[in-house]
Structures are given as C-alpha cells and as structure tokens.
Structure 1
Amino acid sequence: MKFIHAADIHLDSPLTGLSAYPDAPVEMLRTATRDAFTKLVSEAVEQQVDFMVIAGDLYDGTWKDHNTGIYFCKEMGRLKRAGIPVYLLFGNHDAESEMTKKLQLPDNVFTFDARKPTTFQLEGLKVALHGRSFKDKETVENLASGYPAPVPGVFNIGVLHTALEGSSAHANYAPCSLDELHAKGYQYWALGHVHEHQIWQGAATVVFPGNLQGRHIRETGPRGAVLVTVEDAEIAGIARLFVDVLRWYSLDVDVAGCNALAEVVVAIGQALEAVLADTPATIPAVIRVNVIGKTQAHGELFGLEGQLRAEVLALAAAIGAERIWIEKVKVNTAAVDDGAVLRARADALADLQDLFAAAETDPDFLKGLQEELLGLVNKAPLELQTAVPYFKDIRSGDLMGLVQDVRPGLVAHLAQAE
C-alpha cells in the first residue's frame, strides 16, 4: 500500500519578496502554489498511490473568488479518474468560519468533520483514518485527546493540524505532545501546520511533511510532500516528494579574505554558481545574499548596499537570467580594525572615533540626532517603515545601538577614502 501525505498547500497564497526586482518572475510567483499542487497530483497518478491525505491549510483563507475552488475540483477530478480517493482535513487557514465560498467536491474527496472526530475505514486496504477539522481558526483546544481508540487489526492513521509541543514559530493551534501521539496506538500520524519537514519514530511514526511550496525567504530549501509505503501493517519506507516550482535560499557569503568591493563581488558570484550547481535546472532559485565576516572591505561597503545589489543583480543575470533571482542583498560585515590602530594615529580620524564613542552615551547628542532623523522617518514610504529596523529605535529615542553600529563602518570608510 502507498499513500501521499501532504499539508499546508495554501492554494493561491501570494509569494512575497521580489516585487522590487525589475525582472521578477511575476507569472511564476502568481501561480507557484497551484503549479506545485498540480505536480503533486501528477506524482500521485504516476506512483499509483492508493489514497492521498491532506492534513490542513489546503487554502490560504477565504477565497477571493470561486476560481480557487474550481481549480481544486479540477485536480481532484484527475485523481478520481485514476481511482485515487482524497482524505481532506481543514486547518486554521481554511476553517469552516473562513470558507465563505464552497463548491460541491467530487465524490472521491472525503472531509473530516469539524464538530467531532471522524473515522474513515478502507476495508480493502485494512486502513482506518481518524481526524477532526478546525471549525474556527483560533482552535486552541487539544483535539488529539478526543480522537478514538485505534481500530484493531488495521493500519491506523491519525490526521491532525497542530502546533505540537515546541513549535514556537507557529501559532499554538490544537496543541498536543509527542508522547500523547505515541501513546494513542496509531501506526502513523499525518500532521500539518508546521511548514518544516520533521519526522519522529517510536511507538508511532509522526510526520510533518512541510509545506508544498516555499512562499518567502523564511521558507528556504526543497519543499513538498511525503510518499509512505506500508507492508504487512508496518511502515516500509517514507520518501520525500519535492514538487516546488521555485526555491528560496538564504546564502551567507563570508568575505573575510576580501580587500575591496570588486573582490566581494567575485566571492558572491562564486557562491551563486555553487547554489545553481546544487539546484535542479528546472527549478529557479530565489536568493537572499547575506555578506558577512570581518573584512578590509568593510569601509568600502559601508552605505553601498544599493550599489552592491546592482552588482549582484548583474551577476545573476549573467550566470542564469532564467534560473536565478535576487530577493535582497544584506551587508553584515565588520571592520578588521577594532579601533586601536586609528587611536594610535592621533589625528582627526582618531578624534572622530573618540567623538563617536562618547556620543553613544551623550543624551543631548542622541536627542538632537533623534530630532534630525524623525523628519526622515516620518516621510519614508510605507514599505520602509517595517523594512528598516532602526526606525522603531528612532521613534522611541533609543539611538545608542544605531550610533554603535554606524561608527566602525563610517570611520573605516573615511580611513579607506583617505
């Protein structure tokens, strides 16, 4: 017996983070979640699986129109023609309270009730699936505790949308413990809600397949579902099915050995080529470049993130215009000199460094700086209000961290210019 376990598909959820890139793959961003799901359905048909389980968050909230539901019905029709039933559980993003638009689903789709746990028995396969959908988005009760006892003599699957213990990155919906799931007596737990792939072995096999398609820079690396093979009521194998159509990467480039901007650009180019070498040619890569390390180039890089980004965009276009897009370039380098060399010079730069150091704790200077910067902050466009972390500090008057961060870069930049 084989089945596919998927979750967190988020159909028609927008992909974010590339709007400022002039050659962004707009159409691919718009249809990525659908394209990934279409690939999953094709895998199910090709693998001739016995059924599919979707453990919540099929949708991304209330539909904007009926096209989302029509698309899903079309894909379910493909599975119906292949004789593949689907067992669908609704999670927090597609709870009944959010599903204001509904369409009649094909008769090969079976949904878990939101009022009480539902059990579906597949007599020919000797399988029982137990699950309960979310009725409300803010479901914080322990749903697993109400699941029924396992059906004797069959392979029992628990389907649950849950934060599980320790998943602090996700809202604490339907919380339960791993020990509780192992003690239930089921052979497999098909979980959803946590977007990272995770698996635990024990009295039961507990699996988060991860979400089907990365949607932003916090969802990096390969994404997809899992293919579970069962023999003699025992799990024989769990294989990941990667169906994402666009892949996100956060790329750290250590430029400690670089002495100038040109060398930094070369180092980034080499790192980008390495990413492409490890990425299938059919899957475009969206990359955030994080430039790190103590480097002699720190002063030259200071305040030049815009220029560096332009250099990186040119690199990306040359390396693979259709295979790589740059989400952002962030400079987090540090000066090699901790200030001792400059202090020993006893010149204007040394005086400037001492002045900055004193300014960090000078309340009058910090207040005057806040007044100067508030005008800039208040006039900044909306997208910068959340993108620039210092804006919050400027409003609150806590500018010590800002001065501390700027001092080494500015001094190093002036020293290099001199």
Structure 2
Amino acid sequence: MKFIHAADIHLDSPLHGLSAYEDAPVAALRNATREAFKLLVSRAIEEAVAFLIIAGDLYDGDWRDHNTGLFFGQQMGRLRQAGIRVFLVWGNHDAESEMSKKLVLPDNVTVFGHRKAEVHLLPELGVALHGQSFKDKAVLDNLAVGYPAPVAGLYNIGVLHTALEGYAAHASYAPCSRAELHAKGYDYWALGHVHEYQAWQEESGKQSVIVFPGNLQGRHIRETGRRGAVLVTVEGGQTQIERLYLDVLRWEAVTVDASDCHSIADIARELGRALEALLATDADVPRAVRVTITGASPAHGLLFGRGPQLRAEVLNQIAILGNDKLWLEKVKLATQPVAARAGQTESLEALADLHQILDAAATDPEFLALLARDLQPFVGKVRGEVNEDVPLLDLARSGELAALAQRVAPALMARLAQGD
C-alpha cells in the first residue's frame, strides 16, 4: 500500500525576493505553488497511490477570488478520475474561521472536522486515519491528546498540524511532544506546519514513524534547498519513506570563503566554482541564489563600497555558465580584515595616527554630531533599492552613527593599507 504525505502547500502564496530585479522569472514566481501542486498530483497518479494526505495549510489564507478554489477542484478531479482519495486537515493559515469563500469539494476529498478528532476507516486497505482541523488560526491547545486509540488490526495514521516540541520557526500552534505521539500507538504520524523536512523512524519499528514533509514549494530565501512531499510505502508491516522533490523554483544560499582572495577577480573565480558546483544537482530546476562572501580576506578593503561591481561579477559568472535557469537574489558581504602580520608593522606605521583617530571616532561626541549633520540630509534622498548595495545606510538612517563608524573603520584601514 502506498500513499503520499504533503503539507504546507500555501496555494497561490506569492514568492518574495526577486520581483524587484529586471531578470526575475515573473511568471515562475506567480505560478510556482500551482505548478508544484500539479507535479504532486501527477506523481500521485504515476505512483498509483491509494490516497493523498495534506496535513494543513493547503491555502495561504482567505482567497482573493474563487480561482484558487477552482484550481484546487480541477486537480482533485484529476485524482478522482484516477481513483485516488484525498484526506486533509485545515491548519493555521486556512483554519475554518480564516476562510470566507468556499466551493463544494469533489467526493474523493475528505476533510477532518475541527470540533474533535475524527476517524475514517479504509477497511479494503486495512487503514484507519485520525485527524482534526484547526477551527481558528491560533490553536494553542494540545490536539494530539484528544486523538482516539488506534483501531486494532489496522495501519493507523494520525494527521496533525502542529509545531511539535519547538521544531518550528513559526508560532507554537497545537504543541505536543514526540513522546506523546509515540504513546498513541499509531503507525505513522503525518504532520504539517514545520517547513523543513524532518523524520523520526526507529529501525526496530516499535515506535511511530513521525514525519514533517516540509513545504511543497519554497517561497523566499529563508526556505532554501529541495522541497516537496514524501511517498510512504507499507509492506510486510514495514514503513518506508521516500522524499519526492517537486519544487519548480528553488531558493539556494551559496557561501564563498574569500580568505585566500587578494582581488575581486580572485573572488569572482571562487564564485564561478561555487555556482558550478551548485548546478551539479538538479540542473534543470530554476534557482534563485543568494551569495554571501565571508572570511578574513586580504580583499576586504577592496570590497568596501563595491557592492554594485561585485553583483555584476556574480551576474557575469552566471552568464559564463550559460544557465538561463539561475537568477541572483542578492549578494551579501560578510568579510573581515586580515590581522596585520609582523612583517607589515613598518609599512603600517604611517597609518598609526589615523588608526587611533578612527578608534576614538565612535565615542567622540563632536565627530558624531558632524557626521549626523553631513549624513542625514543625504540618506533621506537615497532611493530604497540602493539599500542592497550600501547596507550601512540603515545605520545612518536610524542614527546609529557610533556603530557606523565602528563598521567603516576596519574596511577603510584595510583599503588604505593596500595603497588604494
């Protein structure tokens, strides 16, 4: 017997972080959650699964119009024609009280109620499904304790939208512990709410298999890496889990260590190698990548104020690779200056006085007052899109001038020490 377990689809949720850029894949951003859901349905049909479980947050919230519901109904119709049933619970995003628009669901779709945990039996498969939907967005009670005892002689599945025991980066809704889930005696817990894949499975098979499949499609740069659902196969009393990667646009974070780089050209070459390694897996999946440059680097001073050039170098490396499915989300600079070596002492003596002045600047009221006078009229006129290239603008805007001086001083000294 096979089934697919998915969660946190957030249908028609917008993707964030690329729309401001000229080369952004606008259509892919707009339709990514729908396209991923189509792939999920297609895979269910290909695998001839007995049923599909959706463990909450099918929708991102109340529909703008009925098109979201019409799309879902169409996809459920595909499963209906293939003889595949669907079982779902509502989560915090699509709780009963959050949804003002509804359409009648096909007869192959079963929704667990919110008043108490319900049981649906599939005797022809030897399966019992237990679940309870959210009535309101903020369900703070432990729903798991109210789930009924397992049905003897059947494969028991619990469907629950929960933060579990602190594994979610989100609000702690319907909290419970793994120990409580094991104590129920179910064979499998199909969980939702946590957007990262996590699974707990004892080799002995004496405890419940507990799985968060993660969300179906990453929606922003904080949801990096492969996304999808899980295919569960039950045979001979054993439960096997296989991850299904179904995302249609993937967010990636690439870190480049510039510790051995002496120039922007050196960094560009390291960038190229890192991006090429990224594309070695699932090269056909479109990607949006954030690049972070780190390390105590001899090039630290050279990078100060060169955000636009570095972004251009990343775009150039992408062009060299010739991959039209790779887009740049952002470049972040997180390098540090290299500590002065003993042999450099004499060459830096001429900068010693300046070094002392810069060290004192952050605590000099007169200097900070002059800095405020000069900077405030300027930062008020800078367009918002410049923030990415000049991240220190936020410190200037908020009046944190002491912190600004502390951040600028090391980069300025490193740049001067190189004779730039």
Common fold by TM > 0.5: yes
Deviates more, 1:267-276 or 1:333-342: 333-342
How much has 1:371 moved relative to structure 2?
A: 4.6
CA RMSD of aligned residues (A): 2.2
SS at match of 1:248: strand
Structure 1 stretches of 4+ moved >6 Å: 339-343, 383-389
Structure-2 residue corresponding to 1:56: 56
Structure-2 residue corresponding to 1:298: 300
Of 224, 227, 230, the residue aligned with 2:231 is: 227
How much has 1:364 moved relative to structure 2?
A: 3.5
State the distance in 2 between where 1:285 and 1:225 align.
19
Q: Is the 8 A contact 2:168 2:193 kept in 1?
A: no
Q: Is the 8 A contact 1:127 1:157 kept in 2?
A: yes
Q: Is the 8 A contact 1:119 1:129 kept in 2?
A: yes
Structure-2 residue corresponding to 1:78: 78
State the distance in 1 between where 2:6 and 2:29 align.
21
Q: How does 1:157-176 map to 2 (within 5 A)?
A: 157-176=157-176
State the distance in 2 between where 1:166 and 1:86 align.
29
Q: Is the 8 A contact 1:370 1:397 kept in 2?
A: yes
How much has 1:19 moved relative to structure 2?
A: 2.1
How much has 1:347 moved relative to structure 2?
A: 5.7
1:135-191 CA-to-partner distances (Å, cap 9, x unmatched) read 111111111111111111111111110111122511111111111111111111000
Structure-2 residue corresponding to 1:244: 247
How much has 1:266 moved relative to structure 2?
A: 1.1
AA in 2 matched with 1:28 = A
Structure-2 residue corresponding to 1:258: 261
Deviates more, 1:16-25 or 1:151-160: 16-25
AA in 2 matched with 1:263 = D
Cα 1:50–1:275 change in 2 (3 A) is same
SS at match of 2:97: coil
State the distance in 2 between where 1:408 and 1:48 align.
61
How much has 1:20 moved relative to structure 2?
A: 3.0
SS at match of 1:92: coil
TM-score scaled to structure 1, two decimals?
0.94
How much has 1:372 moved relative to structure 2?
A: 3.9
State the distance in 2 between where 1:32 and 1:54 align.
18
State the distance in 2 between where 1:355 and 1:23 align.
44
Q: Is the 8 A contact 1:344 1:350 kept in 2?
A: no
AA in 2 matched with 1:322 = D
Cα 1:109–1:384 change in 2 (3 A) is farther
How much has 1:310 moved relative to structure 2?
A: 1.2
Q: Is 1:17 aligned to 2:35, yes or no?
A: no
State the distance in 2 between where 1:101 and 1:120 align.
26
Alignment gaps of 5+ in structure 2: none
State the distance in 1 between where 2:180 and 2:111 align.
24
State the distance in 2 between where 1:312 and 1:257 align.
18
Aligned length: 416
TM-score scaled to structure 2, two decimals?
0.93
How much has 1:239 moved relative to structure 2?
A: 0.3
Q: Is 1:273 aligned to 2:276, yes or no?
A: yes
State the distance in 1 between where 2:386 and 2:348 align.
39
Structure-1 residue corresponding to 2:289: 287
Cα 1:129–1:373 change in 2 (3 A) is farther
State the distance in 2 between where 1:342 and 1:406 align.
21
State the distance in 2 between where 1:189 and 1:371 align.
61
How much has 1:51 moved relative to structure 2?
A: 0.4
Q: Is 1:350 aligned to 2:347, yes or no?
A: no
SS at match of 2:102: coil
Q: How does 1:193-204 map to 2 (within 5 A)?
A: 193-202=193-202, 203-204=207-208
State the distance in 2 between where 1:180 and 1:227 align.
24
Q: Is 1:3 aligned to 2:26, yes or no?
A: no
State the distance in 2 between where 1:376 and 1:145 align.
59
1:187-239 CA-to-partner distances (Å, cap 9, x unmatched) read 1100000000001124211100000011111111110000111124x333100
Q: How does 1:25-40 map to 2 (within 5 A)?
A: 25-40=25-40
Structure-1 residue corresponding to 2:326: 324
SS at match of 2:12: coil
AA in 2 matched with 1:363 = P
Structure-2 residue corresponding to 1:41: 41
SS at match of 2:334: strand
SS at match of 2:98: coil
How much has 1:315 moved relative to structure 2?
A: 1.7
Percent of aligned pairs with the same residue? 59
Q: Is the 8 A contact 1:249 1:288 kept in 2?
A: yes
Q: Is the 8 A contact 2:295 2:336 kept in 1?
A: yes
State the distance in 2 between where 1:392 and 1:346 align.
31
SS at match of 2:186: coil
Q: Is the 8 A contact 1:6 1:53 kept in 2?
A: yes
State the distance in 2 between where 1:143 and 1:372 align.
58
State the distance in 1 between where 2:179 and 2:310 align.
50
State the distance in 2 between where 1:306 and 1:343 align.
33
State the distance in 2 between where 1:118 and 1:384 align.
54
Deviates more, 1:306-315 or 1:383-392: 383-392
Q: Is 1:142 aligned to 2:145, yes or no?
A: no
Structure-2 residue corresponding to 1:310: 312
Q: Is 1:212 aligned to 2:235, yes or no?
A: no
State the distance in 2 between where 1:341 and 1:133 align.
68
SS at match of 2:52: strand
How much has 1:297 moved relative to structure 2?
A: 1.2
Structure-1 residue corresponding to 2:91: 91
1:35-68 CA-to-partner distances (Å, cap 9, x unmatched) read 1110010000000000010000001111111111
AA in 2 matched with 1:67 = N
SS at match of 1:34: helix
Q: How does 1:84-163 map to 2 (within 5 A)?
A: 84-163=84-163
Q: Is the 8 A contact 1:131 1:158 kept in 2?
A: yes
State the distance in 1 between where 2:71 and 2:348 align.
71
